Amino acid sequence: MALREIVTLPEPVLRRKAKPITKFDKNLQTLIDDMIDTMRDAPGVGLAAPQVDVSEQLIVVEYSEDDEDEEDVEGKPPKPKKLYVMVNPEIVKTSEEKVLGVEGCLSIPGIQGEVERFEAIQVKGLNRHGKPLKLKLHGWMARIFQHEIDHLNGVLFTDLATRLWKFQQEEEHEL
């Protein structure tokens, strides 16, 4: 397993629609493992293949609902993070309710923005071995998946943001 370089704007791969994956071979498994290591090293909560210069429909997400309020509960061990690998993900159902939230992106360092996203979604795709996978997601997990799936369509959070700003180094550390 190896760390891969995370490409940043204006790299053209970030604006391209990624190709569906059809071969579940050793190369794909290596890409998945590399993406997980790269996401963790960054550190980030999600990563799409175009962000490591591979125009294929693959995302990895690792998050725990406790991440957002870990400091609120002293002495309670945080829930373990759950790792998701999804090949050819597709949003098949959305809630009517949308919520505004702050997002950033490993491919657009130093910028944050407010983005309106669906509060809940249903996503279908394949796991790393080509088996069907269907997830019902809400809250921040739904936001992360929407953000990563957008990458597969050449859409960046800055395209959707109602407001953008640069953030300072100390803010980045807190995130």
- Residue 148 is among the residues annotated as catalytic for this protein: yes
Question: Which domains are delineated in the chain?
Answer: 12-174 (3.90.45.10)
Which member of 62, 71, 74, 148 is catalytic? 148
Per-residue pLDDT of 42-83, as tens digits, reads: 999 999 999 999 999 999 999 987 644 444 456 666 678 999
pTM: 0.89
| pLDDT the model gives residue 75 | 64
Q: Are 116 and 98 in contact (CB under 8 A)?
A: yes
- Residue range 93-99: mean pLDDT, rounded: 98
